[in-house]
Structure 1
Amino acid sequence: MDMKNAFLNGDLSEEVYMQPPPSYDHPPGKVCHLQKALYGLKQAFRAWFAKLSSTISKLGFSSSSFDSAIFIRKTYKGYTLLLLYVDDMIITGDDLQGVKEVQNFLYTQFEMKDLGRLSYFLGLEVSYDSKGYYLSQAKYAIDLLCRAGLTDNKTANTPLETNVKLSPTDGTILKDPTLYRQLVGSLIYLTATRPDIAYAVFYIVSQFMAAPCTSHFTIVLRILRYIKGTLFHGLHFSAQSSLELKAYSDADWAGDPTDRRSTTSYCFFLGDSLISWCSKKQTIVSQSSTEVEYRVLTDTTSELLWLRWLLQNMGVSQSNATTNIYCDNKSAIQIAHNDVFHERTKHIEIDCHFVRHHLVSGKLCLISVPSADQKADIFTKAHPPRPSKLSAKLAIKVSSHATTNIYCDNQSAIQIAHNDVFHE
């Protein structure tokens, strides 16, 4: 659903004055005392959110403690969820009557527009069938390619060349970095459904936003050519999948050639569906691979706790009280099970205590996994072309709706497009 003129519904809690519009006839020396929020006010966002929160609370909704943009109502019939992004909202749940009740209630309170069953939301294209849901950003990617001027047919098999390493001084500094920053910013949003480019975008090209060089821009173009060849790839959420949460944790020790910082990477699956992932540079230099893995385990444990709380808040309870974290570093796993610290591990004692606390309390279970089966490995380095293995690891699939509709009001042009016989 879409809210019309959302910010105009916000109530102001402060006294705010503004100069009258130029065309408004008003007494000289007088100003307007605002009773409601207006677009452009710094208070408008908070006022609108407070207005909606107080309104739907009358229907029994409460904001989630773990994500304030999600409003939840639980009744004996089931759960009803409302996800808000400024003036756009998604309403769902297993209580179909409750969903309809929320719609009717919102109609009476605000000027709303029903956009029907979810198919497009903030650049995300949603399609579904009996097998589950499929999320992609094909249209968004096409617009991005047009903005970059990539109109030829060249594509790339991978986002990066194998073992690519970049430094801040590679190449000549771009005279105008505006396009580079726009493209990288758009690529960051594209990773919402394309985890296969997360390492290339978050770890490689994003760190050169301040002073990008020609070599960095070349990498951005290669990522875009890879996207061009995999335009309809996206995430698939299986309807037959279980709701068991599991995580994979991995790191690349001292992978950055400039400052020798390491890479943090993890990914979470709800059954067979990828729901959360991370690829970022660590903030400090680690002295050993075990230390790196422990810092990643700390971040993974924090994300695990938040996801468990959020899922429980949404009515998705875990069948097991323990969540498995798969790690390919046996030293890190052994130290987590051993509460004896010596000189070699003293500097990572806080991380050890944090992971071990939740390990002992039964919140998580550390399981050793071979590096070949480590699904988070793709977020730590560039890989050679392995499309089938990549799809199997991250549940990335090609949309069954790989055709994009083009609407045209000239029937002659459409007929010629369907007919390969050309005349004068």
Structure 2
Amino acid sequence: MDPKECKLTLIGYSHEHKGYRFIDRENDSVVISRDARFIELGNGTSSVELPVSEDQSSSADQCLYVKGVGEDRVFLLVYVDDILLASKNNVDIKRIYDSLNNVFKLTCLGEILHFLGLEVKRENGVLPIRLKQYIDKLVAVNGMHDAKTAKSPMNSGYLNEVDNSELLKDNTKYRSLVGGLLYLSVIARSDIAASTVILGRRVAAPSEANWTAVKRVLRYLKLTREYYLRLGGASEEPLVGYSDADWAGDPESRRSTSGAVFFYAGGTISWASRRQSCVTLSSMEAEFVALSEACQETIWLRQLLPDFGEDQTQHTEIREDNQGCLTMLE
């Protein structure tokens, strides 16, 4: 990863490659780099320092780096100051760790068991993950050790209930709990994604009823704290997505909510539940907007998976149940 200094002519920025474009006049070639560093030399001139490395940052995720090809690939995933290294070859992992440790002070924790609150297991080619300890922490912080559990995260008619309760005098605890639930819903608990997003709309001015509802989600998590999200186990299963939407589900804004989930190789790898940015005039329009959002996620997943050696050579199927929407697409 040692940089080298070279004299290049900047000709612009490539949005396609997400990097600077230079002309190397000595070699009569075009160079593209995401990591160029400009050094002022005075007299109105500057030098460009480019990293010399075989490592490549993923075009789909700038925190993912891939080195090598085929079976010799090494993956490096960065999250702030936490790093995951993965490879089939322990020698490659050791070599890259030593290289990084020469520049940064690192601590190797061995095979992954915990990462950012996640508990990771290995079972015959399957990776079950969960956040049991994180849930226990939320229960303890909010004083709900003795609270009864709930069988569902939210009442199905919650959005249509009339809220006449008083506003919370201090919304700090509400904001904190919703933030914790959002982290859970993004990382490994897709079953609370919809209810958490709905409750997140009230963080500016939550009421007593909202506080009761958010505690119900936590009581549901208390019941299901042992649940795992299963990754892998069926390598032959292709990428497939499901898309759905309600219509005007939010009684205040009359906007609909999109929902999507994607499965690959036997596991759930991506999901989303979000309120649409526009007001649709029919259920068909709401489903069409949700489908377009699911297609955007599909494009990103098809861009990301090849970085892991999972080339997508066949089309990706997105399943949708609204006949009007399907007819319009035909």
Looking at structure 2, the residues matched to 162 and 288 of structure 1 have their Cα atoms a distance apart, in angstroms, of 21
Question: How does the TM-score come out when normalised to structure 1?
Answer: 0.64
User: For the structure 1 residues 50 and 158, does the alpha-carbon distance in structure 2 shift closer, same or farther, using more than 3 Å as the test?
Assistant: farther
Q: 2:190 aligns with which of 174, 179, 195?
A: 195
| Gap regions ≥5 residues in structure 1 | 1-48, 338-424
Q: Which amino acid aligns with 2:268?
A: L
Partner of 2:250: 256
Looking at structure 2, the residues matched to 74 and 184 of structure 1 have their Cα atoms a distance apart, in angstroms, of 41
Instruction: Determine if contact 2:130/2:228 at 8 Å carries over to the other structure.
Output: yes
| 1:74 to partner: Cα distance | 2.1
Per-residue CA deviation, residues 384-411 of structure 1 (Å, 9 max, x unaligned), is xxxxxxxxxxxxxxxxxxxxxxxxxxxx
Looking at structure 2, the residues matched to 301 and 76 of structure 1 have their Cα atoms a distance apart, in angstroms, of 28
Q: Does 1:328 align with 2:321?
A: yes
| 1:248 to partner: Cα distance | 0.1
Structure holding more strand per residue: 2
Looking at structure 1, the residues matched to 36 and 207 of structure 2 have their Cα atoms a distance apart, in angstroms, of 44
Who wins on radius of gyration, i.e. which is larger? 1
Partner of 2:262: 268
SS at match of 2:68: strand
Q: Which amino acid aligns with 1:129?
A: E
Q: Does 1:134 align with 2:134?
A: no
| 1:271 to partner: Cα distance | 2.5
Looking at structure 1, the residues matched to 125 and 156 of structure 2 have their Cα atoms a distance apart, in angstroms, of 35
Identity of aligned residues (%): 35
Q: Which amino acid aligns with 2:309?
A: G
Q: 2:211 aligns with which of 214, 217, 220?
A: 217
Matches within 5 A, 1:153-232: 153-165=147-159, 170-191=164-185, 192-202=187-197, 204-232=198-226
Looking at structure 1, the residues matched to 307 and 210 of structure 2 have their Cα atoms a distance apart, in angstroms, of 43
Looking at structure 2, the residues matched to 50 and 95 of structure 1 have their Cα atoms a distance apart, in angstroms, of 31
Looking at structure 1, the residues matched to 173 and 76 of structure 2 have their Cα atoms a distance apart, in angstroms, of 36
Q: Does 1:294 align with 2:322?
A: no
Partner of 2:24: none
Instruction: Determine if contact 1:168/1:212 at 8 Å carries over to the other structure.
Output: no
Q: 1:116 aligns with which of 110, 119, 122?
A: 110
Q: Does 1:86 align with 2:55?
A: no
Per-residue CA deviation, residues 146-191 of structure 1 (Å, 9 max, x unaligned), is 1111021511111112322257954110001110000000110011
Matches within 5 A, 1:18-417: 58-75=52-69, 77-165=71-159, 170-191=164-185, 192-202=187-197, 204-242=198-236, 244-318=238-312, 320-337=313-330
User: For the structure 1 residues 166 and 180, does the alpha-carbon distance in structure 2 shift closer, same or farther, using more than 3 Å as the test?
Assistant: farther
Alignment RMSD, CA only? 2.2
Looking at structure 1, the residues matched to 173 and 162 of structure 2 have their Cα atoms a distance apart, in angstroms, of 18
Partner of 1:393: none
Q: Which amino acid aligns with 1:260?
A: R
| 1:226 to partner: Cα distance | 0.6
Looking at structure 2, the residues matched to 66 and 273 of structure 1 have their Cα atoms a distance apart, in angstroms, of 20
User: For the structure 1 residues 77 and 326, does the alpha-carbon distance in structure 2 shift closer, same or farther, using more than 3 Å as the test?
Assistant: closer
Partner of 1:421: none
Instruction: Determine if contact 2:119/2:129 at 8 Å carries over to the other structure.
Output: yes
User: For the structure 1 residues 131 and 312, does the alpha-carbon distance in structure 2 shift closer, same or farther, using more than 3 Å as the test?
Assistant: closer
Looking at structure 2, the residues matched to 57 and 87 of structure 1 have their Cα atoms a distance apart, in angstroms, of 21
| Gap regions ≥5 residues in structure 2 | 1-34, 38-49
Question: How does the TM-score come out when normalised to structure 2?
Answer: 0.81
Structure holding more helix per residue: 1
Looking at structure 2, the residues matched to 282 and 154 of structure 1 have their Cα atoms a distance apart, in angstroms, of 34
| 1:257 to partner: Cα distance | 1.4
